[in-house]
């Protein structure tokens, strides 16, 4: 059964069809929200809220855009609201909290130690304006047109943000690995020396 038929059945109150939609998108949405928030527990909570809204607002879905775009739009809006809400809350510096745990909190691939950690840290440092389009494009596989619908921006803006986000990631990853060949070439050309 295709997605359009599933959502049509959800609009009629079919819980089985809703379960099928959840099965298709739950992991992808939670992963996307994790990339946005950096907190798995928060991502899981926002994922649940996303599907609650999908179920109760199914009658608002119009088959103009793919179902996936509509679901990701709901998730993006919830994540943005959560980010604004969390900024208003008082924060405590991590330096004020005693560290009784080992520093190895990230999964490290034995073939390339630190790669996953460095990528996660680089993504976390990206401003959401760049992180969201990069994650949607490079990790979730959406087209630029679909991303434009999800984040409600023109396609040209999406292209620019993806490009800038990738460039910022590249610089952060090069810096994390000690500059590398690209960093050295760039430094020489910027200083005008050959």
Give phi and psi for 108, each to the nearest 5.
-120, 130
Give all domains of the chain, ordered by start, each with its CATH number. Answer: 1-88 (1.10.1740.10), 112-178 (1.10.10.10)
* pLDDT attached to residue 5: 92
CA–CA dist 133, 39 (Å, integer) = 19
Any residues with CB less than 8 A from the CB of 102 and at least 6 apart, and which?
Answer: none
* pLDDT attached to residue 96: 45
Global pTM value:
0.59
pLDDT 10s digits, 53-69: 999 999 999 888 899 99
* Mean pLDDT (whole number) for 139-144: 87
Q: How many CA atoms lie within 13 A of 3 on its CB side?
A: 17
* pLDDT attached to residue 88: 62
User: Residue 189 above 90 pLDDT?
Assistant: no
* Mean pLDDT (whole number) for 14-32: 94
pLDDT 10s digits, 143-175: 999 899 888 899 999 999 999 999 998 888 888
Query: With pLDDT > 90 as the criterion, what percentage of the chain qualifies?
Result: 40
**Cα dist from 25 to 54, 68, 167, 171, 192, whole Å:** 11, 8, 29, 32, 51
Helix, coil or strand: residue 40: helix
Q: Higher model confidence: residue 140 or residue 190?
A: 140
Any residues with CB less than 8 A from the CB of 148 and at least 6 apart, and which?
Answer: 154, 155, 157, 158
């Amino acid at each position: 059964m295709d997605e359009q038929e599933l959502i049509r059945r959800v609009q009629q109150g079919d819980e089985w069809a809703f379960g099928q939609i959840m099965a298709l998108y739950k992991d992808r949405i939670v992963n996307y929200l994790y990339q946005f928030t950096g907190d798995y527990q928060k991502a899981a909570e926002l994922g649940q809220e996303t599907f609650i809204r999908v179920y109760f607002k199914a009658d608002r879905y119009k088959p103009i855009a793919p179902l996936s775009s509509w679901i990701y739009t709901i998730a993006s809006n919830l994540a943005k609201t959560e980010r604004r809400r969390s900024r208003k809350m008082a924060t405590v510096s991590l330096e004020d909290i005693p560290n009784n745990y080992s520093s190895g909190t990230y999964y490290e691939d034995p073939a390339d130690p630190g790669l996953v950690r460095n990528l996660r840290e680089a993504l976390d440092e990206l401003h959401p304006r760049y992180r969201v389009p990069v994650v949607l494009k490079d990790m979730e596989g959406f087209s630029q047109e679909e991303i434009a619908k999800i984040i409600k921006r023109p396609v040209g803006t999406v292209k620019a943000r993806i490009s800038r986000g990738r460039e910022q990631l590249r610089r952060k990853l090069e810096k994390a690995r000690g500059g590398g060949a690209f960093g050295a070439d760039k430094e020489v050309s910027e200083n005008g020396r050959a």
